[in-house]
A and B are shown apart, each in its own frame.
Chain A
Amino acid sequence: MFFKLSDAFHAALDRTVSAEVEDRIRRVPTKLNEYGFDPFGFNPDVAKYLYSAAYPIYKHYFRVETHGAEHLPGDRVIVAANHSGVLPWDGLMVALSMLMEADPPRLARGMAERWFPTLPVFSPLMQRMGHVLGDPQNCRELLGRDEAILVFPEGVRGIGKTIWEAYELQEFGTGFVRLALETGAPIVPCAVVGAEEQMPSVGNVTPLARLTGFPYVPVTPFFPALGPLGLLPLPVRYRVYYDEPIHFDGDARSTSDEDVDRAVEIVKSKIHRLIQYGLETREGVFS
């Protein structure tokens, strides 16, 4: 009974699937078992609905422009991007850009926060899309299977910042470089230009954040004034830039902290340069 209903529901949803997106998902080089799952819970038969639903936002709302997608290899890679825009639309847009523009199409394995698995509905859907719990061991396993992981080394420091600090890279974590050393995966620096302006936060209400347990509670011209509507992002144009893969040689255990920091700085400065290039060449925030 349940599965008959579920099949009918899927059949009804089938009309919403973009042929283009489905074709790209089928070509993702992720190994699946006889039920169409990868061990982390990715399933193209479910993912196709979710990415198809997000695709119009990618194409018509944010009108994402991708540059340098040819730098994304077909095997293990760590994509390290700047994080911004209060709500993580940038993660979804980079994931779509990797899926739609890279050759072969790459599935961005995003890293979910620790509280995420306790969330009903969203947690399994994110898994079906290819996201995993952000844990170094998950990264190691994924890279061992030649997957592409997407990391935001600034974390909350980046996404929660105000418009006064737009495009200033915050402190980077070092875990992604250690992973690169351990697994031999190259790092592809990635810059997202445009997301900073989608929700121009003028300040954070720290006491409220502490009270609610959210990492930050922003104040924008529209939020909280317009209520939940104020959470809609502005129709900015996204520009996503990928740079050449950087290979770091060395052994994770014997590499000193100073060398790791130096490697992080190299990646950070590449992303910085990509952002500067994007800012200089763009004609406007919305065009």
Chain B
Amino acid sequence: MSPARDDGPATRSPVPEVSWDANEQANADPPLLRRVVVTGAAKGLGRLVLRALEGSCERVGIDHEPIEGDAARGVEHYVCDLTKRPAEDIFRQGGVDAVVHLAFEDDPRVGKHKRYNRNVLSTMKLLDHVARYDVKSVVVVSTAAVYGAHPHNPAFLAENAPLRALETYSGMRERVEADRYAQAWMWRHDHVRTTILRPTHVIGPTVMSPLKAYITRRRVVPVLFGFDPMMQLIHEDDLVQAIVLALRAGRTDIFNVSGPGEISLFGMLREVGVSPLPLPHPAAYVVMRQLERLRAVPFSSPMLDFLRYNLLVSDRRIRRELGFSPRVGLRDTLRSIALPRTGKYIAPGDGA
């Protein structure tokens, strides 16, 4: 007899949770969504969100670059910088009901100032426009990485856990700052329905995330000798589902989004078909710092902590309050980015 299989978190009578009283006001009726602005529209996640909203509203995209391929069809797309005047003009024309803010930059190869601009200043400016031009609701897609991979992390951090990513990883500073700014803004502007989502590592054929960059760019990837943390992944389609749910619900709240389950780093590499190269951790931090300085890697040295310590969040609240439930299982999520072993690309759900 084998142990019972789990397909969801906590069973039986739930244990009382840490109290986290969100703003319960004005959460009753769904917000109007006639014209929706999506920032970061040209990136993978942006294109997926635009596609998910197709037919339900006027879709407006903003990004630094044009949208490629089919996703552009029927989208009013503006190529501009969020911090600049043309972006404000989009809001000044009026009629924008909601904003989905996805334009964040995680690639450490992008210079420091540019990253600060794209992460922090863009968020501040965008939220300014939201307040000034009477936008009714905003969904800010932050990241669970803001909690930081810390040795003292208990399993399943709730939304009120401290954002400790700054303690070790200054490269995370802009993401933490943007999240904190959005949080403070959310409580100050209680007439705008603001939802902050903090998803775990996004995996899928379309999006690019730091974790995906790390495991799919080469056949052998460095890991830290003697460490094998547990990680959470979410398939891009499920994250889009969560974003659309949040947009339609229009709650003023913060939600973690953790996906179908937990897997160890080595288990993940094995499934994807990548070999780990264990390096002693003191040396690894030094080497990575040098590579980072040369802007040679899409991954930065203090991010090695994510390969060392657990960072697990609880998404119990979004499941309960918005009815979110991931549809893509752990195995299919990983297989969606698996390297072809037999010369055949394995698509999600293929089961092969």
Contact = CB atoms under 8 A, between A and B. Distances in A.
Contact of B4 (A31, A121, A137, A184): A31
Contacts of B18: 137
B123 interface: no
A40 B231 CA distance: 10
Given A33-B263, A123-B227, A135-B152, A182 B310 contact: no
A34 B331 contact: yes
B230 A37 contact: yes
Contacts of B226: 119-124
B16 interface: yes
Nearest to B224: A120
Contacts of A34: 5, 261, 329-331
A141 B15 contact: yes
Interface string B317-340: 000000000000111000000000
B96 to A, nearest CB: 40
Scoring A27, A39, A146, A252 by chain B CB atoms within 10 A of each residue's CB, the highest score goes to: A39
Contacts of B93: none
Interface stretch (B72-80, B193-201, B237-245, B270-278): B270-278
Interface string A16-34: 0000000000111111111
Interface string B244-286: 0000000000000000011110010111000111000100000
Interface in A34-51: 34-35, 37-41, 43-44
A273 interface: no
Please classify how large the interface on chain A is, using the bins under 10, 10 to 19, 20 to 34, 35 or more: 35 or more
A1 interface: yes
B330 A27 contact: no
Nearest to B7: A33
Given A39-B312, A41-B310, A31 B11 contact: yes
A133 interface: yes
B151 A118 contact: yes
B154 interface: yes
Contacts of A28: 3
Interface of B: 1-7, 9-16, 18, 151-156, 220, 224-230, 261-264, 267, 269-271, 275-277, 281, 309-310, 312, 329-331
6 nearest A-B residue pairs (beta carbon): A120-B226, A31-B6, A144-B15, A121-B226, A117-B151, A135-B154
